[in-house]
């Protein structure tokens, strides 16, 4: 029987941004091993998708060949990094069903394809950051709560490098928690891959502050005002303004992002 979070090869190719033939090539090179159904059809787990995204990054950004990628991935796969990426989609599905909504009705209300919503509910991956915000707003919650990180029992001290992170629902966007618990501020560290963006503007209640550590970020407010932030730059604005952003650096952009009250 096919697991509920299983993805077919065409869906995975879309999520990773490569062709189906490339996925098959990587399989023959021993970079990834999808599960095979009795029919011979390949199915991929969320962990497979995460590994494939890392393979694509190593291939594009670092120019590694298959042998070098295998050598690089082995110690990473053996590390004890926590995996919580599969919970956001089921949480959204529970909200949708509790509201008596079909996939089609919710997808239409948000402005996305039902197939994209269906994939997200099963795998917690593959949607734009703006879409995640729109879904949270539709159900009267926040992105933090929807992602399962509106933590009620937090650590008062978070050491460098020990940040918990959100499930990686949006390609190229990593969100790490700088403060945990029910606080008056959402304090996050964003790590944006080259080209990563919100893929549209969104808004919510409150105020927010961002400070660039490395890289370069373009922020557009209300579709009219665009600012480019370099390392050391800060920006403060009302969250009720439509805001969109994208990494315009050729490497990672890392920033501290604070929202108050915690409506993000």
Domain boundary among 24, 47, 77: 77
Q: Is residue 195 part of a domain?
A: yes
Q: Does residue 83 carry a pLDDT above 60?
A: no
* 153-164 mean pLDDT: 77
Is residue 2 situated within a structural domain? no
Express each pLDDT in 160-211 by its tens digit: 878 887 777 777 888 888 987 778 888 999 999 888 899 899 998 899 999 9
Q: What's the structural domain count of the chain?
A: 3
Within a domain: 61:
yes
Q: What is the CATH number of the domain that holds 119?
A: 1.10.260.40
What average pLDDT does the segment 220-241 reach?
Answer: 96
pLDDT over threshold 90, residue 254: yes
Domain boundary (53, 77, 101) is at 77
pTM above 0.75, yes or no: no
- Burial code of 107-135, b = ≥16 C-beta within 10 A, e = fewer? beebebeeebbbbbbbbbbbbbbbbbbbb
Query: Whole domain around residue 14: which residue ranges?
Result: 7-77
Q: Render pLDDT for 62-74 as a digit per residue (tens, 0 to 9).
A: 777 777 777 676 5
Does the residue 96 lie in any domain? yes
Same domain, 216 and 244: yes
Residue 123 near residue 169, CB atoms below 8 Å = no
Residue 209 lies in a domain: yes
21 is a domain residue: yes
Angle made by CA atoms 219, 225, 229, in degrees to the nearest 5? 35
Please tell me the distance from the alpha carbon of residue 202 to that of residue 95, in angstroms, as a whole number: 21
Distance between CA atoms of 253 and 5, rounded to whole angstroms? 31
- Give the integer Cα–Cα distance in Å for 46 and 63: 25
């Amino acid at each position: 029987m096919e697991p509920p979070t299983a993805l077919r090869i065409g869906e995975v190719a879309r999520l990773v941004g490569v062709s189906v033939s490339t996925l098959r090539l990587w399989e023959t090179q021993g970079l990834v091993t999808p599960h095979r159904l009795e029919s011979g059809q390949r199915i991929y787990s969320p962990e497979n998708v995460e590994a494939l995204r890392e393979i694509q990054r190593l291939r594009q950004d670092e120019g590694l060949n298959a042998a070098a990628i295998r050598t690089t991935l082995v110690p990473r796969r053996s590390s004890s990094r926590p995996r919580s990426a599969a919970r956001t989609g089921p949480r959204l599905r529970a909200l949708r069903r509790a509201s008596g909504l079909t996939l089609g009705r919710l997808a239409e209300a948000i402005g996305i394809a039902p197939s994209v919503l269906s994939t997200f509910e099963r795998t917690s991956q593959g949607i734009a950051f703006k879409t995640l915000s729109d879904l949270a707003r539709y159900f009267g919650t926040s992105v933090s709560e929807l992602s399962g990180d509106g933590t009620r029992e937090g650590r008062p001290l978070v050491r460098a490098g020990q940040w918990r992170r959100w499930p990686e629902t949006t390609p190229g966007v990593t969100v790490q928690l700088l403060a945990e618990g029910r606080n008056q501020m959402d304090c996050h560290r964003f790590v944006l891959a080259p080209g990563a963006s919100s893929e549209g503007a969104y808004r919510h209640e409150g105020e927010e502050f961002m400070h660039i550590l490395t890289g370069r970020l373009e922020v557009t407010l209300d579709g009219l005002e665009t600012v480019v932030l370099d390392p050391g730059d800060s920006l403060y604005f009302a969250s009720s303004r439509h805001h969109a952003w994208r990494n315009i650096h050729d490497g990672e952009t890392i920033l501290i992002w604070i929202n108050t009250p915690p409506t993000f």
